[in-house]
Structure 1
Amino acid sequence: MIPREVMQNIRRIQINTSHVVDDLLAGGWHSAFKGRGIEFEEVRPYQVGDDIRAIDWNVTARAGEPFVKLFREEREMSVMMLVDLSASQDFGTQHQTKRQLVTELGATLAYSAIKNNDKVGLTLFTDQIEKAVPPRKGTRHVLRLIRELLYCSPIGQGTNIQTALDHLGRTASRRSVVFLISDFQDRGFEKTLRVTRRKHDIVPIMVADRRETEMPNVGQVRLRDPETGKLISIDTSSRRHRDRFAERMAARIEATETLFRRLRMEPIRIFTGEDFVEPLQRFFHQRETRT
């Protein structure tokens, strides 16, 4: 039996995200992503103007007159969400942690998928695979994904994106749309990402909090890296220290975005405490105009 408080939280997110999908995202999703290809539908007699490459020579030989194959687009897709649950996701200064933002974002993507009659699955990871839910359809399935996003208690603390991509490679037999959702506090995954991209349509979503790049002036403080536990002391009253911190964080972000550009991938950046719908809409629109 699921506790009542848990059901209330799941229901709240269901209501909020369903409204967003209905009003803003469903059409954009349908236009932005194509199905996995075309499938055979039927044959019919050849008509003037038909492409001769579509002639079914076996049927033509049996019938004694030319017939052509007709195909239709296969719209159904498999959608996978690879979601980072490392310890740094518990950070947030804008009335929301990164994990809370990721939960609402994941729910929105999942509902968008099932409204397009697509299957959707979920892999939660840290420096290991924490939970894997295979792609399925239906509202009940999405409610399960929301529950996992809300209440999965990860064992690991760090981030290993390569582990998540390797797991995808072993478990996803067909081409999928893959939302890779993380703050990308990791290195060394470029080769695996490059290989995975050849098979799957990967959309990186970079989750961040503004305070991660803008240190306030609050005097002498001790900071702890949530993933490694490492402690450092810093005098935030020093403008030089604040500027150096901002430069280092900006360089890390730029390095990640440069990697995506090199692989011809389009990252989406979203921030805690801010509306994530507009960045998603902009991304969907850009995808639509290119298809």
Structure 2
Amino acid sequence: MSLTTADILKKVRILEIKSKKLASDLFTGEYHSAFKGRGMSFKEVREYAAGDDPRFIDWNVSARFGHPFSKLFEEERELTVMLLVDVSASSLFGTVNTTKRELATEIAAVLAFSAINNGDKVGAILYSDTIEKYIPPKKGRTQGLYLVRQLLTHEPAQGGTGLGKALRYFNNTTRRKSIAFILSDFLDTGYDDALRVIGRRHDTVGIKIYDVMDQRLPDAGLLEVEDLETGRRQWVDTGSAFVRQEYEGEFFRITEYANNVFKKAGSDLLHLRTDEDYVKVLQRFFISRNRA
């Protein structure tokens, strides 16, 4: 069922109110502490003074003038947050509370308004197995509302998933160091190299969103199931313990793959089931970053 303009505006407004409240009441301090100060930009050189960190001596300038000079850095006051959101067909799946796509949209809205509350820029890349939409980073409430509206209404042209392609596109379009949140069920593979490249330049955080039935099949006898991304249908005997065990084993194999790829890239990966409280998961993550 397609949404009317009035339905869309109502949903955007509800998400804005909820997201802004969470962003201001719960996440402002944690967000600020977790990410502010991680980006430092070069300001100037000055003559070396007692107490300066010797690691920041500018040896070229020092050699030219015959005595030591130090490089000075300042905290980058303005950050850029990019949201890479998986809008492939598998994101439409959900059996408890909400679909993966709806939950990703809500989390993206909270992250967007957390950034906006701190005066940061926020942008987004919506991807399937192609780049569906690129929203350049900007500041302000209007940008937040536009981003939320696109997440709510965008209908992907393709059904598959290609995270590697989205990461390469992000790397090519985003020169300045950014905070990249990747919201996906991470069901695809082959994004190792692309993640390692952006992990060197950007502060990268994955949020794996999954449904309880992504992990476990119910014991419900013979069921006809459809792969949302390929349209392929097949009968599955969910009454077989072996079938259920193999299904769960595949979930853990693909999850372990994502864990390893993010670890090797020096990036964080959070795991969030659709029936869990994402607020607590994000809070724990922000607080752990502050202690790191």
TM-score, normalised relative to structure 2: 0.88
Choose the corresponding residue for 1:267, options 262, 269, 273.
269
Aligned to 2:43: 40
Choose the corresponding residue for 1:145, options 147, 150, 154.
147
Backbone CA RMSD of aligned residues? 2.5
Contact 1:36 1:76 in 2 (8 A): no
Question: Structure 1 residues 237 and 110, CA, compared in 2 at 3 Å: closer, same or farther?
Answer: same
Listed as ranges, the gaps of 5+ residues in structure 2 are none
Aligned to 2:101: 99
Deviates more, 1:28-37 or 1:123-132: 28-37
Aligned to 2:12: 10
Aligned to 1:178: 180
Does residue 30 in structure 1 map to residue 32 in structure 2?
A: yes
State the Cα deviation string for residues 30-65 of structure 1 (Å, max 9, x = none). Answer: 11113521453898x9987667959xx89xx9xxxx
Contact 2:195 2:262 in 1 (8 A): no
Q: Distance in 1 between matches of 2:166 and 2:243?
A: 35
Instruction: Name the aligned partner's letter for residue 94 of structure 1.
Output: V
Q: Distance in 1 between matches of 2:257 and 2:76?
A: 37
Listed as ranges, the gaps of 5+ residues in structure 1 are none
Aligned to 1:224: 226
Q: Distance in 2 between matches of 1:73 and 1:252?
A: 38
Contact 1:41 1:72 in 2 (8 A): no
Instruction: Name the aligned partner's letter for residue 9 of structure 1.
Output: K
Q: Distance in 1 between matches of 2:97 and 2:19?
A: 18
Q: Distance in 1 between matches of 2:198 and 2:22?
A: 30
Question: Structure 1 residues 99 and 40, CA, compared in 2 at 3 Å: closer, same or farther?
Answer: same
SS at match of 1:14: helix
Aligned to 1:77: 79
TM-score, normalised relative to structure 1: 0.88
Q: Distance in 2 between matches of 1:240 and 1:69?
A: 63
Instruction: Name the aligned partner's letter for residue 163 of structure 2.
Output: I
**How far apart are 1:114 and its partner, in Å?**
1.1
**How far apart are 1:202 and its partner, in Å?**
1.1
Contact 2:79 2:121 in 1 (8 A): yes
Q: Distance in 2 between matches of 1:205 and 1:172?
A: 20
Deviates more, 1:180-189 or 1:71-80: 71-80
Does residue 201 in structure 1 map to residue 203 in structure 2?
A: yes
**How far apart are 1:264 and its partner, in Å?**
2.5
SS at match of 1:198: helix
Question: Structure 1 residues 42 and 257, CA, compared in 2 at 3 Å: closer, same or farther?
Answer: closer
Contact 1:35 1:75 in 2 (8 A): no
SS at match of 1:181: strand
Q: Distance in 2 between matches of 1:247 and 1:70?
A: 52
**How far apart are 1:3 and its partner, in Å?**
2.1
- Aligned pairs (5 A) from 1:210-289: 210-289=212-291
Question: Structure 1 residues 67 and 266, CA, compared in 2 at 3 Å: closer, same or farther?
Answer: closer
Q: Distance in 2 between matches of 1:263 and 1:49?
A: 34
